[in-house]
Structure 1
Amino acid sequence: MNVHSAAGTGRSTPAAEVLARHPAVAEVVIVDEPGTLGGHARIVPDRETARTLSRSVVLEAADRLGGLAWHEPADTIRVAGLNRGETDFLYREIFVEGAYFRHGITLPRAPVVLDVGANIGMFSLRAGLAAPGARVIAVEPVAELAAAVRLNAELHGLDVTVLQTALGRKQGETSFTFYPHNSVMSGRYADAAQDAEVLRGYLLTGDDAGAQGAGEDPGGDGRSRSLDRLVGDRLAARPRRVPVTTLGNVIRDHGLTRVDLLKIDVEKAESEVLAGLDEETWERVEQVVVEVHDIEGRLQEVLGTLRDRGFDVTHDQDPRLALTPCHNVYARRPRAGVGAPPAPVFDGVPTLRRLEGELRELLARALPSAPPPGRWTAVPHLGPAPGAPAPAAPASPAPAAVAPERVAVLARAWTDLFGADALRSGADFFELGGDSLTAVRLLARVEDELGPDALTPDLIFTDGTFAGLAAALGSGRPAEEAPRP
Structure 2
Amino acid sequence: MAVRSAGYAVRRVRQSFTHFRNGPQLLLAMARGGEVTFRTRSGLTIHTPNSPGARFPVYEITADDVYRVDELLAGLRPDFVAIDVGAHIGSFSTAVCARAPRATVHAYEASPSTAAWTRRNAEANGFADRLHVHAEAVSDHRGTLRFVDNGEASAHNGMTAPDGLGGEVEVPCVTFADAHAAAGGRVDLLKSDAEGAEYGYILGSDPALWADVQRVVMEYHPVDGYALADLVTYLAGVGLDLVRDEPSPDKPGLGNAWFARAA
TM-score (norm 2): 0.77
Aligned counterpart, 2:196: 268
* CA deviation after TM superposition for structure 1 residue 101, in Å: 2.4
Q: What is the CA RMSD across the aligned residues, in angstroms?
A: 2.4
Q: 1:204-215, aligned counterparts within 5 Å? A: none
Residue 293 (structure 1) aligned to one of 210, 213, 221: 221
Q: Given residue 142 of structure 2, which amino acid in structure 1 is its aligned partner?
A: Q
Q: Given residue 216 of structure 2, which amino acid in structure 1 is its aligned partner?
A: V
- Measured in 1, the distance between the counterparts of 2:69 and 2:90 equals 19
Q: CA contact under 8 A between 1:177 and 1:187: conserved in structure 2?
A: yes
* CA deviation after TM superposition for structure 1 residue 282, in Å: 1.5
Q: CA contact under 8 A between 1:71 and 1:84: conserved in structure 2?
A: no
Superimposed CA distance per residue, residues 5-34 of structure 1 (whole angstroms, 9 cap, x where no aligned partner): xxxxxxxxxxxxxxxxxxxxxxxxxxxxxx
Is the aligned partner of 1:323 residue 2:246?
A: no
Residue 171 (structure 1) aligned to one of 133, 142, 150: 142
Tell me the matched-pair count.
Answer: 224
Q: 1:434-453, aligned counterparts within 5 Å? A: none
Aligned counterpart, 2:210: 282
Q: Given residue 188 of structure 2, which amino acid in structure 1 is its aligned partner?
A: D
CA spacing shift, 1:246–1:237, aligned 2, 3 Å: same
- Measured in 1, the distance between the counterparts of 2:119 and 2:245 equals 31
* CA deviation after TM superposition for structure 1 residue 128, in Å: 0.6
In structure 2, the gaps of 5 or more residues are 1-21, 23-33
Equivalent position SS for 1:186: coil
* CA deviation after TM superposition for structure 1 residue 115, in Å: 0.6
Q: Given residue 287 of structure 1, which amino acid in structure 2 is its aligned partner?
A: R
* CA deviation after TM superposition for structure 1 residue 84, in Å: 5.0
Superimposed CA distance per residue, residues 379-402 of structure 1 (whole angstroms, 9 cap, x where no aligned partner): xxxxxxxxxxxxxxxxxxxxxxxx
CA spacing shift, 1:239–1:298, aligned 2, 3 Å: same
- Measured in 1, the distance between the counterparts of 2:235 and 2:194 equals 17
Greater helix fraction, Structure 1 or Structure 2:
1
Q: 1:218-237, aligned counterparts within 5 Å? A: 235-237=164-166
Residue 239 (structure 2) aligned to one of 310, 317, 325: 310
- Measured in 2, the distance between the counterparts of 1:254 and 1:281 equals 12
- Measured in 2, the distance between the counterparts of 1:248 and 1:333 equals 20
Aligned counterpart, 1:105: 72
Is the aligned partner of 1:83 residue 2:50?
A: yes
Bigger RCO (CA 8 Å, 6+ sep): 1
Say which is worse superposed, 278-287 or 119-128, in terms of deviation: 278-287
Equivalent position SS for 2:172: strand
Equivalent position SS for 1:256: coil
- Measured in 1, the distance between the counterparts of 2:190 and 2:49 equals 25
Aligned counterpart, 1:184: 155
Q: CA contact under 8 A between 2:145 and 2:173: conserved in structure 1?
A: yes
Q: Given residue 284 of structure 1, which amino acid in structure 2 is its aligned partner?
A: D
- Measured in 2, the distance between the counterparts of 1:87 and 1:187 equals 14
Equivalent position SS for 2:250: coil
Superimposed CA distance per residue, residues 229-260 of structure 1 (whole angstroms, 9 cap, x where no aligned partner): xxxxxx43121101111011121134132x22
Superimposed CA distance per residue, residues 209-245 of structure 1 (whole angstroms, 9 cap, x where no aligned partner): xxxxxxxxxxxxxxxxxxxxxxxxxx43121101111
Aligned counterpart, 1:93: 60
Q: CA contact under 8 A between 2:137 and 2:172: conserved in structure 1?
A: yes
- Measured in 2, the distance between the counterparts of 1:237 and 1:171 equals 24
Equivalent position SS for 2:98: helix
Equivalent position SS for 1:183: coil
Percent sequence identity over aligned pairs: 28
* CA deviation after TM superposition for structure 1 residue 276, in Å: 4.8
Aligned counterpart, 2:14: none
- Measured in 1, the distance between the counterparts of 2:152 and 2:113 equals 12
CA spacing shift, 1:77–1:84, aligned 2, 3 Å: farther
Greater strand fraction, Structure 1 or Structure 2:
2
- Measured in 1, the distance between the counterparts of 2:35 and 2:206 equals 40
CA spacing shift, 1:311–1:236, aligned 2, 3 Å: closer
- Measured in 1, the distance between the counterparts of 2:227 and 2:214 equals 22
CA spacing shift, 1:315–1:247, aligned 2, 3 Å: same
In structure 1, the gaps of 5 or more residues are 1-52, 54-67, 193-234, 336-485
TM-score (norm 1): 0.43
Aligned counterpart, 1:69: 35
* CA deviation after TM superposition for structure 1 residue 91, in Å: 2.3
CA spacing shift, 1:152–1:191, aligned 2, 3 Å: closer
* CA deviation after TM superposition for structure 1 residue 72, in Å: 1.9
Equivalent position SS for 2:73: coil
- Measured in 1, the distance between the counterparts of 2:44 and 2:52 equals 15
Which of the pair has more CA radius of gyration?
1
* Structure 1 residue ranges, 4+ long, deviating more than 3 angstroms after superposition: 73-77, 84-88, 294-297
Is the aligned partner of 1:148 residue 2:103?
A: no
Q: CA contact under 8 A between 1:167 and 1:272: conserved in structure 2?
A: no
CA spacing shift, 1:304–1:294, aligned 2, 3 Å: farther
